Amino acid sequence: MSSFHRTLLRTIWICLIASLLAVVNAKAQNPKLEVSHLDKFADKADKVIDVNVERNIIQLAISALNDKRSKDEAKIKELLAPIKGIFVKRFQFENEGEYTAADADSIRSQLNGPGWQKIAGVRSKKQGSFDVVIMSEGSVIHGLAVFAAEPKALTIVNIVGPIDLAKLAELEGRFGIPRFGLEQATASSDDDKDKHEKDSKGGDKKPPEDR
């Protein structure tokens, strides 16, 4: 075999391996969470919200909206257009202690995986925890998850597809998504990001005479 053919075969193998690695990496960074194991709480919960809105249903919703009828419908239509799926699970219990820390950690471990970045979080001994996490690649957001572990409730909201955080609050109260105050959470995150960028660039420094 000539050196040319050996080089060609080596190049083909490298391309094949790179393609396989890309597929594996894409699967590892799937913005859709695995939450089916939480269905065991359906019998324990006093109230269950289970929403699975796939791409085809979203397309139907978009077709029913008229962006000329109202500004709100225009905003929702624009926000829904690139979204691939909306998934919500919420279990409300009569008593505390119906789920364990391990149950909550099974979700948090996914949100700590490759590609995920927490943009807002609240911890309270009395009210539990609340996290807003995004999966992004550069400036493109491929998915978002809201996870709330309250003493008497467990909630996971998972939106798959490109998302405009500035408009995300428009979906609260729709498609089974509870009202979490995402607007305030994302706004706080933007403020923190701006502050960090200013600090890193040396902005907002006091002049020498004011020190």
Q: What is the structure's pLDDT at 180? A: 57
Q: What is the structure's pLDDT at 163? A: 79
What predicted TM-score, i.e. pTM, was given to this entire model? 0.66
Q: What is the structure's pLDDT at 179? A: 65
Q: What is the structure's pLDDT at 76? A: 79
The token pair that represents 66 in the structure block: 């008229």
Q: How many residues does the chain have?
A: 211
Burial of 211 from C-beta contacts in 10 A (0-12 / 13-18 / 19+)? exposed
d(CA 86, CA 161) in angstroms, rounded, equals 9
Q: What is the structure's pLDDT at 178? A: 61
Output the CA angle 156-35-107, nearest 5 degrees.
65
Q: What is the structure's pLDDT at 111? A: 92
Q: What is the structure's pLDDT at 21? A: 40
Q: What is the structure's pLDDT at 90? A: 94
**Which parts of the chain sit beneath pLDDT 50?**
4-5, 7-8, 11-28, 186, 188-190, 192-193, 195-197, 200, 205-211
Cα distances (angstroms) measured from residue 15 to each of 44, 161, 189: 51, 28, 40
Nearest partner of 62 among 47, 82, 44, 42, judged by Cα = 82
Q: What is the structure's pLDDT at 126? A: 86
d(CA 22, CA 193) in angstroms, rounded, equals 30
The token pair that represents 15 in the structure block: 């391309």
Domain boundaries, the chain: 40-196
